[in-house]
Amino acid sequence: MISRFFSYFSLLALGAAIGFSWAVMRDITQPVIYLLAGALIAGIVWMLIDAWRGYRVRSWLRHGDLAIAPQMSGWWDVLLERVRKLLRERERSIDASEQRLKDFLSAIQASPNGVVMLDAHAQIEWCNQTAAEQLGIHPERDVMQRIGNLLRDPIFTAYMAVEYPTEPVVMAGRKHRVDRPVRIAVQRHRYGEGKQLLLTRDVTMLEQAEAMRRDFVANVSHEIRTPLTVMSGFVETLQTLKLSADEQNRYLSLMAIQADRMQGLVEDLLTLSRLEGSPVPSLHHVLRLADLMRSCEQEAQGLSASLANGGQPQVIEFRIKPELIDVNLIGEIRELQSALSNLVSNAVRYTPAGGRIQVAVDHDGEGHLRIDVRDTGTGIAPEHLPRLTERFYRVDRSRSRESGGTGLGLAIVKHVMQRHGGSLSISSELGQGSCFTLTFPAARWRLHD
């Protein structure tokens, strides 16, 4: 500022000196007037130059490249440097804000939950890709469209009519089908001046899990209630009627059958609970495959003889390729025994008298070991195959109960194989029998040293 005043008065003095000198050189009697005129002209020139500099600065601020400032000196240079500094700080602040906004939007885009921002008129301002896929809206084309015009589900319309909803609403998603339901939960929140935020979440798996839990509780209750009802009737009969020794023994035998059935159900439930809550089996325990096959064969022969009840038993054949005789399975011994035993006992129970059951061991070129359990039973319709490993799912409930099954065997086998990194596959044709295959990865078997 001092330099600015110094330059101004210096120019005035120079103008005054020039005016005075010019008057003296012309022998003018009143040189003071020319002195003042020279100072005035110098002041006007200074103001014009200063105004031109101000105009250049104003034009640069309004239309120029902020990165390239005009060259100036003195006070205007100081001013320009200060302006450039402020503008650089402002640009950095804007860039940082824009980057934070981009990061925030990227985080919302990556969220598994959907987000829709609505203005005061319920028009879409922005939505992430998840919400677009779940609700069937377009994140760009449908911007500033009323959400009610795009989603016409009566449940959603009624929900949007509520001024301050407290609970989310669940409705069908964009890809909902009767055979493959998709359920979306929508929660609405108000913010700002009349704006609204919609949060969406895919709850299909949660609803299915809840339905499975209800079905599981209902099935367990039903499975336990049936033998309990039978046993209660037998107990009441024994308490109220005078029966002969033979009749008492017969009722007690029937009660023992129902008690065994309940015990088997409880043991299977405990097995499933243990499988779901246990760590992955270690690689330090081994089971000789030949011993497992021999044990299951003896069990199958005994079960077949008991079910035949003096009639013609099934033909049961266990085969191991010579090069696989010395194979060891690696994992939890009790679980591996349970898996194969369940498949073999199911084959025996559902194969008619005189039928054939074959258990064969083989391996493929990719290092997988397969155990196939084939039977010549009645077979299973294709629509039942995907659900066979569900708990308590039965193709024929009456026949399952007659054979003594709990409806949990294949669920146990599936869990065992998943825990060992393997799989259970099922193929069947009506009237042609079924094949249940246990496939073990290379890490779960090896030849005995």
Is 337:287 a contact under the CB 8 Å cutoff? yes
Q: Which domain holds residue 89?
A: 2-97
Q: Are residues 256 and 165 in the same domain?
A: no
Is the pLDDT score of 400 beyond 50? no
Across the range 353-364, mean pLDDT stands at 90
User: Phi then psi for 408, rounded to 5 degrees?
Assistant: -115, -5
Q: How many CA atoms lie within 13 A of 412 on its CB side?
A: 27
Q: Are residues 320 and 245 in the same domain?
A: no
User: Phi then psi for 188, rounded to 5 degrees?
Assistant: -110, 135
Across the range 189-217, mean pLDDT stands at 85
Is 7 buried (19+), middle (13-18) or exposed (0-12) by CB count in 10 A? Answer: middle
Q: Are residues 86 and 116 in the same domain?
A: no
Among 277, 303, 327, which residue terminates a domain?
Answer: 277
**Structure confidence at residue 358 (pLDDT):** 94
Task: Report if residue 105 sits inside a domain.
Answer: no
The pTM (predicted TM-score) of the whole model is 0.56
Q: How far is residue 22 CA from its own chain's centroid? A: 94
Is 167:146 a contact under the CB 8 Å cutoff? no
What is the pLDDT confidence band of residue 401, given thresholds at 50, 70 and 90?
A: very low
Name the strand (E) or helix (H) holding 417.
helix 409-419
Across the range 101-112, mean pLDDT stands at 83
Q: Are residues 382 and 351 in the same domain?
A: yes
For residues 5 and 386, the model is more confident at 386
Q: How many CA atoms lie within 13 A of 245 on its CB side?
A: 0
Residue 377 DSSP symbol = S
- Beta carbons within 10 angstroms of residue 128's beta carbon: 22
Q: Are residues 271 and 311 in the same domain?
A: no
Name the strand (E) or helix (H) holding 6.
helix 2-25
What CATH number is attached to the domain comprising 286?
3.30.565.10
Both tokens of residue 294?
């021999």
What is the pLDDT confidence band of residue 396, given thresholds at 50, 70 and 90?
A: low
Both tokens of residue 74?
């003195």
d(CA 305, CA 298): 11
Task: Report if residue 102 sits inside a domain.
Answer: no
d(CA 333, CA 336): 5
Q: How many CA atoms lie within 13 A of 57 on its CB side?
A: 18
Kindly provide the b/e burial profile for residues 297-322, where b requires at least 16 CB atoms within 10 angstroms of the residue's own CB: bebbeebbeebeeeeebbebebebee
Q: Are residues 425 and 298 in the same domain?
A: yes
Q: Are residues 273 and 285 in the same domain?
A: no
Q: Are residues 297 and 371 in the same domain?
A: yes
Across the range 166-180, mean pLDDT stands at 83
CA nearest to 341, candidates 298, 379, 307 = 298
Both tokens of residue 257?
């059958």
Over residues 239-249, the pLDDT tens digits come to: 888 888 888 88
Among 71, 97, 123, which residue terminates a domain?
Answer: 97
Across the range 246-269, mean pLDDT stands at 83
Alpha helices, H only, 74-128: 75-110
**Structure confidence at residue 83 (pLDDT):** 76
Is the pLDDT score of 278 beyond 60? yes
Among 145, 175, 202, which residue terminates a domain?
Answer: 202
Question: Number of structural domains, the chain?
Answer: 4
Task: Report if residue 184 sits inside a domain.
Answer: yes
Q: Are residues 299 and 431 in the same domain?
A: yes
Across the range 6-16, mean pLDDT stands at 66
DSSP secondary structure, 282-334, as one string:
-SS-EEEHHHHHHHHHHHHHHHHHHHHTTSPPPEEEEEE-GGGTTEEEES-HH
Over residues 402-420, the pLDDT tens digits come to: 555 567 888 889 999 999 9
Q: Is 115 helix (H, G, I), strand (E, B) or coil?
A: strand
Q: Are residues 409 and 321 in the same domain?
A: yes
356-363 and 315-320 strand pairing: parallel
Task: Report if residue 261 sits inside a domain.
Answer: yes
Q: Is 164 helix (H, G, I), strand (E, B) or coil?
A: coil
Q: Are residues 319 and 438 in the same domain?
A: yes
Across the range 166-170, mean pLDDT stands at 88
Is the pLDDT score of 196 beyond 80? yes
Task: Report if residue 339 sits inside a domain.
Answer: yes
**Structure confidence at residue 406 (pLDDT):** 65
Is the pLDDT score of 322 beyond 70? yes
Mean pLDDT of the chain: 82
Q: Are residues 197 and 212 in the same domain?
A: no
Both tokens of residue 276?
């779901």
Alpha helices, H only, 162-244: 204-240
